Structure 1
Amino acid sequence: MIKKFIQLYWFEKSDKTQEHRTFKKSYARFSKHGFSGMTNRLEKDYIRIEEDVIIKSHLEKNYSKLKTRFLFILLFLFAFTYTMFLKTELYESKTVVMVRDLSSSSPTASLGLTILGAGSSSQLQDSMVVQEYLQSLDMFLLLDKEFKLIKHYKSDKLDFIERLASDATMEEALAFYQKRLVIHYDETSGLLHLFYTHTNPQKAQEILQFMISRVEHALNEFNRKKAKKQLRFIEIEHDKNKKKMDESSTVLENYQNEHLLLDPSSKAASSSSIIANLESTLTQKRIEYKTKSNYLNANNYELVALKTEIKETERSLANAKRDLTGKSKNRLNKVLFEYEKLKMQAEFDIEIYKNALVQLETLKLDVLKEAKTLSVVSKPNLPDGYSYPNKPKTFITLIIAMLLIYGIFSMLSAIIRDHKE
């Protein structure tokens, strides 16, 4: 009936008389005959429009446009009313923190690590650990226990669109919490910016303060667990290295006892010195023998004695060389090489054991100490005004979006109508 009433109004408006009799007649008919009588007579007046196909088509087109405009106006009014009057106002508290590593031995060492990129890489890793922990289910459960977040998310303090459903799952509640928490890491400065929104400004500040107090403990606990795992591994390696060191030392000791030598290298040096002396003596005796044989008889006692001394010296020299580099199993050079090999193995095992011992003691300290700290650069603030929604910006965006959508819809409708005609 509304459609017919509007079309009759337009029809009379386009008439030559320009008189809008529909309202007057309908009111008079309603007063005299009631609603049914008014409806029956409105149907009779509408027959005039149906008889004229051109006018009816024109009125139908106008009515279709009116419905479209009315629909968009309703949508705009709903969005405007929700944004300006119904949407929950959220207060944002923010803080800036920095993860610092206290294990750096000195500022110079820390500067060197930063230049090489190791320091910034460690800081980035720690900051990412903090970010993941803040967004984790563990942190959300701690906050829910302290501040009843799930109950708040489902309460009427949030508008009917924003609030969490009463039968929402834990995953949905966690996603809702993560949407309220914004974390931004600045790689240039190494600062971690934290933002949290809540309907109560005091609660927003308290929640950020609670996060900061918990995250430092969690970060150190994470590092302690990591150090404990490394400690267990190093303890096993320490025991293995100690056993190898004891075994190699025992082998070296048994080898020394077997050959009755404390250090074969000193005996080798002594043997080399003896050989050198014997060679020098032999050379002198040969020269002396050759010189005296020029003026003495070959059977002379002095020449015979020199010849005997030369032979004895040659025999002693041959024995000394045979003991040092001969084919005997107990020759000195073989004993020396085997000894040096066992000695090097023992020294190598000792060095490995010493390194394992240093690592073991270092990790024992790492398990006990607080290696990481969370420095608060800017404390969580108490917001004095809501941050969301940004009503002026939302209003302008809403108008532009509605006009854009309406223009596109109208253009498509016109194309479809032209195609049908």
Structure 2
Amino acid sequence: MTMLKAARFNIRRQETPAPPAPRPAPVLVATATPGEMLFDNPEDGFGDQKFETAGGPVASGARAGNAGSPQEPEPSAGTEANHPIAHELAAIRKEGLTGRQLRTARRLAQSHNLPATSDHDAVRLLRAAGINPFERGSMLDMVAAEPGTAVAAAGEGGGGKAGGGTGRALSPLPGDGVQLPQTIKPIQVPSTEQRIEVNHAAEILRMQQDIAKRRRRKLALLFVRMFIFVLLPTLIAGWYFSSVATRQYGTKSEFAVHKAESPQAGGALGGMLQGTSLATSQDSIAVQGYLQSREAMMRLEGDVGFREAFMGAAIDPILRLPPEASLEDAYKLYKSHILISYDPSEGIIRMEAIAPDPQLSVEWSKQLISYAEEQVDQLTHRLREDAMQSSDEGYTDAEVKLLEAQQKVITLQEQFKVLNSETELTLLTTQIGTLDNQLIQERLSLAQMEANPNPNAARLEPVKRRIITLEAEIATLRTRLTEGQGGESSLAQIQGQLRLAQAEVETRQMLLAQSLQAKETARIAANSQTRYLSISVAPVPPDVPTYPRVFENTLVTLLILIGIYLMISMTVAILREQVSS
């Protein structure tokens, strides 16, 4: 077994005075030397061994691992004043070297066979020999506390490299005291992949900035186009409606069409519909169409002068009619100023007349209502005339037919020489009955005579002859009832023809009476009004202008312009996409 040998050190505890209060430790900045990585193994080879000389006041105040280690004996103030070595050791202590650096310097002094009595003395001897104990790549450069100390060390350390401040010697900074090293993250040079990523990110950023710039430019152009094609025309329209447009007054009125017929006039179904809007819906629609027609406009022009109301200098240029305006231009203005609507659920016609003057609008409304009432009456005028004419013709025809029937009866009476067939029939039936009674009496008398055992022949013969005569007369009378004699018609035929003629006369009389009643009814209907208007809302002149409605009209103008702009923009975008593709 090979035994390890190590240099002996004097580790006897020496009584030293209490050290002065340690100064604040300077901030130590760790930098990676060339050829050395940041995470190299910091082990110095001593493990957990502690050294008495490495536990000075600076190291014990800076590291917790060295807090309990024995402190190196320091020379007294008198010794420091007499020996320059004491000044150098004091300057080295002020550098704030770590325990690892001190152990490394002691190990390096042992390898060079330098008689070091302590770790600081090993640093002094190495620097005096021209060796920098902290030249290895795994060590950290330390920053000294004060520049005065560095100057003193440079002046008293001889001509070594450490005293000259060359190479890797620690450089003191102004205001630094006892400092400990502090690790920092090294600056790493980006790799090729990182550079590619950085270039890619820069390109993306440039593209994003370019896109944002183009987007801002397009947005600005959009705002300009919206202002020119939408906002500016809207502002002009709002200015026109608020300042230039002529103030107009609208007069509203409501009326309905009613029927004057009784519920029985149209039967059961007519009675159910009577009084509802369905009974007069056609008349109401016809009145609405008439009031919106050119005929109504021409009548209004002839009565109150429609076009003259819009030809004055007080009318704005857009609404004003020129003196040479055509009828079609006036009719367009009429349709926009006479608004008529019909509500089929309620059967009410609503009308609004708009004019530059309130009294003029009321006059137009009343005039149009009178036109509507005349039109309603005119709708049934032809019907009433036709009914009157038909009733007159029917009555005349009934009179003629009645006269013909009566003449036929008279002709039959003269032909058959019979005034009344019923009287003749009654007379014949009476004669036949009388003769039957006589025949019965004679037969009874004959029977009594023949019942005598010795009848008288002179009395029997006359009775038998009377019986034969009565039977012959009765047969003749019966023949006259059903059979004609000598080419004459029988009483049955005469009675039948006379009854038919008399029945026809009675029928014609009844038809004549009905025709007369229909004629009277038609005359009454022709003289009365079957359709009439009932005004539910009378026209009243307004005291403030009704039109133009500035806000509503401006808003509608804005919406229309926006719709037109969007439609044109979409069309242009679609065409551009089709052309580009």
Using the size of structure 2 for normalisation, the TM-score is 0.51
User: Which of 491, 494, 503 is the matching residue for 1:332?
Assistant: 491
Contact 1:94 1:381 in 2 (8 A): yes
- Distance of 2:281 and 2:457 partners within structure 1: 98
- Cα RMSD (Å): 4.6
User: Which of 273, 276, 291 is the matching residue for 1:117?
Assistant: 273
Looking at secondary structure, tell me which structure has more helix per residue: 1
Within a 5 Å distance, the mapping from 1:144-293 to structure 2 comes to 144-155=301-312, 157-164=314-321, 166-216=323-373, 219-220=376-377, 227-228=384-385, 230-272=387-429
User: Which of 404, 407, 416 is the matching residue for 2:575?
Assistant: 416
Contact 2:249 2:361 in 1 (8 A): yes
What SS does the aligned partner of 1:330 have? coil
1:119 Cα shift? Answer: 6.4
* Residue of structure 2 in register with 1:24 after alignment: none
Over 3 Å counting, the alpha-carbon distance change for 1:283 and 1:82 in structure 2 is: farther
Over 3 Å counting, the alpha-carbon distance change for 1:97 and 1:284 in structure 2 is: farther
User: Which of 311, 315, 318 is the matching residue for 2:472?
Assistant: 315
What SS does the aligned partner of 2:513 have? helix
Over 3 Å counting, the alpha-carbon distance change for 1:71 and 1:126 in structure 2 is: closer
1:231 Cα shift? Answer: 3.7
- One-letter amino acid of the counterpart of residue 194, structure 1: M
- Distance of 1:61 and 1:375 partners within structure 2: 64
- Distance of 1:273 and 1:125 partners within structure 2: 71
- Distance of 1:290 and 1:189 partners within structure 2: 99
* Residue of structure 2 in register with 1:359 after alignment: 518
User: Which of 89, 93, 99 is the matching residue for 2:251?
Assistant: 93
Over 3 Å counting, the alpha-carbon distance change for 1:72 and 1:254 in structure 2 is: same
1:198 Cα shift? Answer: 2.0
User: Which of 500, 503, 506 is the matching residue for 1:347?
Assistant: 506
1:390 Cα shift? Answer: 4.1
* Residue of structure 2 in register with 1:374 after alignment: 533
Residue deviations 1:290-345 (CA, integer Å, cap 9, x gap):
89878879996777666545544443343333222225542122112211222222
Greater relative CO (CA pairs within 8 A, separation 6+): 1
1:137 Cα shift? Answer: 4.3
1:148 Cα shift? Answer: 1.5
- Distance of 2:475 and 2:466 partners within structure 1: 14
Over 3 Å counting, the alpha-carbon distance change for 1:257 and 1:78 in structure 2 is: same
Contact 2:435 2:474 in 1 (8 A): yes
Contact 1:110 1:119 in 2 (8 A): no
Over 3 Å counting, the alpha-carbon distance change for 1:137 and 1:359 in structure 2 is: farther
1:177 Cα shift? Answer: 2.2
- One-letter amino acid of the counterpart of residue 115, structure 1: G
Over 3 Å counting, the alpha-carbon distance change for 1:101 and 1:413 in structure 2 is: closer
- Distance of 1:116 and 1:303 partners within structure 2: 88
1:149 Cα shift? Answer: 0.5
- Distance of 1:320 and 1:178 partners within structure 2: 93
Percent of pairs with identical residues? 22
> How many residue pairs were aligned?
368
What SS does the aligned partner of 1:194 have? strand
Contact 2:481 2:490 in 1 (8 A): yes
Q: Which runs of 5+ in 1 are unaligned?
A: 1-56
User: Which of 403, 407, 416 is the matching residue for 2:566?
Assistant: 407
Contact 2:340 2:351 in 1 (8 A): yes
